[in-house]
Amino acid sequence: MSPPKVIVFGPTGGVGSATALEAHRLGATVYLGMRDPSKPIPIPGGLPSSLKRIPADLSDAASLARAVSETDGAKAAFLYLNYTSPDHMRGSISSLKSAGVEFIVFLSSFTVPENPSDAAPGDFIAYLHAQVELVLEDIMGRDGYVAVRPGYFNTNALKWKSTLNTAGKEGGEVKIPFPDAEFDWISPGDIGKVCGRLLVQQRTDSDREKETAVYLAGPKMLSQRSAAVELGKHLGKEDLQVSPLEEEKLIPWMMEAFGIPEPGAQVLADDWRKRSAKTDGKYQGKIHDQAVANVQRYTGEKATTWAEWVRENYGLFQD
């Protein structure tokens, strides 16, 4: 049997590159769909040269059809959310299916309700991801896609970089929004390994009820304060003190850091405020436990801890 052919869109990102690497490791012929195929892929060592780069733009349905035709038969694709899509990626997904793609792995969000139809329009991040999940079910059918719903990316801490670098050599004070808000801190590499395995092996009959959503989470809930202090130690800032960002700066900070409009930033701030007050149970209990277990279930390895990830990646926070 010839190796499966897959196409990964967004390979310059942490999850996309890890997805491509895992699919390659599993023996697939991997194509990288990129708006600019000459763009460097910023991961240590880059991706193997045997991975073929082809021009493709998730906002251009025609370019997606051309990209699939250049793969000479790719049947599976990895996608991420195009925030600017006016039709929740319906045109893009339809184009991929018409070109021959039979299975899609979509990078969704932990914030999406178990039933994506329940997502509220005001919940910016959850709602947009949920609408794409609904489009996927409509076009691809329940057997034709999986939405991977990861928790809080470790790389979100990079939004502290400029603040950390202006702190004193030994530490000093840094201000971040809601330092007592707790997150699960999942490694993009772990997410990509799961996505890559799903992309190549899809689902087997033993998968629970042909699940269309796979939750993923880091192994331990940790406050932003604790995460920042741990990071500071690796940056030589042993005396780092973490304080809350002033209330009037919260929304502008979130708009800039996450690239979202003010209504979305307001929703995000409310969510973090609940986390800080320990009144948000989204990441607690059964779903969180299942999400942590899913990392090992699909990869055969335990989820990477925040401390382990920091030891390998603290250089990302240095100028």
Tens digit of pLDDT for each residue in 96-152?
999 999 999 999 999 999 899 999 988 888 999 999 999 999 999 999 999 999 999
Which residues, in sequence order, are bridge partners of residue 148? 107, 214
Q: Tell me, rounded to whole angstroms, the distance of Cα 77 from its chain centroid.
A: 16
Q: Is the pLDDT of residue 62 over 90?
A: yes
Question: How far from 76 is each of 54, 64, 244, CA to CA, in Å?
Answer: 15, 13, 44
Q: Is the pLDDT of residue 64 over 90?
A: yes
Answer with the residue of higher pLDDT: 280 or 246: 246
Residue 232 token pair: 């500071």
Which of 171, 125, 116, 124 is closest to 147 using CA atoms? 116
Q: Are 266 and 195 in contact (CB under 8 A)?
A: no
pLDDT for residue 116:
95
Round to whole Å and give the CA distance between 209 and 228.
Answer: 40
Q: Are 253 and 162 in contact (CB under 8 A)?
A: no
Query: For residue 49, with 0-12 CB atoms within 10 Å meaning exposed, 13-18 middle and 19 or more buried, which class applies?
Result: exposed
The arithmetic mean of pLDDT across residues 157-185, rounded, is: 83
Torsion angle, CA of 185/188/194/196, rounded to 10 degrees?
170
pLDDT for residue 171:
61
Q: What is the pLDDT confidence band of residue 258, given thresholds at 50, 70 and 90?
A: confident
* Beta strands in the chain, from DSSP E residues, in sequence order: 5-9, 29-34, 52-55, 76-80, 103-107, 145-150, 171-176, 182-183, 213-216, 222-223, 239-244
Q: Is the pLDDT of residue 250 over 80?
A: yes
Q: Angle at CA 125, nearest 5°, toward 216 and 43?
A: 55
pLDDT for residue 284:
56
pLDDT for residue 146:
96
Answer with the residue of higher pLDDT: 300 or 210: 300
pLDDT for residue 259:
85
Which ranges in the chain are annotated with CATH 3.40.50.720? Answer: 5-152+186-216
Answer with the residue of higher pLDDT: 225 or 276: 225
Q: Are 71 and 55 in contact (CB under 8 A)?
A: no
- Span 155-185+219-279+305-317: which CATH code? 3.90.25.10
Q: Are 98 and 65 in contact (CB under 8 A)?
A: yes
Q: What is the mean pLDDT of the chain?
A: 90
Q: Are 30 and 53 in contact (CB under 8 A)?
A: no
Q: Which of 28-32, 83-87, 284-288 has the lowest mean pLDDT?
A: 284-288
Which ranges in the chain are annotated with CATH 3.90.25.10? Answer: 155-185+219-279+305-317
Round to whole Å and give the CA distance between 100 and 83.
Answer: 24
pLDDT for residue 279:
62
**β-pairing, 52-55 with 145-150?**
unpaired
Residue 316 token pair: 């990302």
pLDDT for residue 122:
82
For 178-205, write each residue's pLDDT tens digit.
Answer: 999 999 999 999 999 999 999 998 755 4
Residue 269 token pair: 């701030």
Q: Euclidean distance between the first and final Cα of the chain, in Å?
A: 48
For 67-93, write each residue's pLDDT tens digit.
Answer: 999 999 999 999 999 989 999 999 999
Q: Is the pLDDT of residue 45 over 80?
A: no
Domain 5-152+186-216 has CATH 3.40.109.10: no
Round to whole Å and give the CA distance between 195 and 176.
Answer: 31
| Tokens 């331990």, located at residue | 220
Answer with the residue of higher pLDDT: 264 or 18: 18
pLDDT for residue 277:
81
Question: How far from 205 is each of 94, 213, 277, 304, CA to CA, in Å?
Answer: 26, 15, 42, 28
Q: What is the pLDDT confidence band of residue 306, given thresholds at 50, 70 and 90?
A: very high
Q: Is the pLDDT of residue 206 over 70?
A: no
H or E stretch covering 192: helix 188-201
Output the pTM of the full model: 0.93
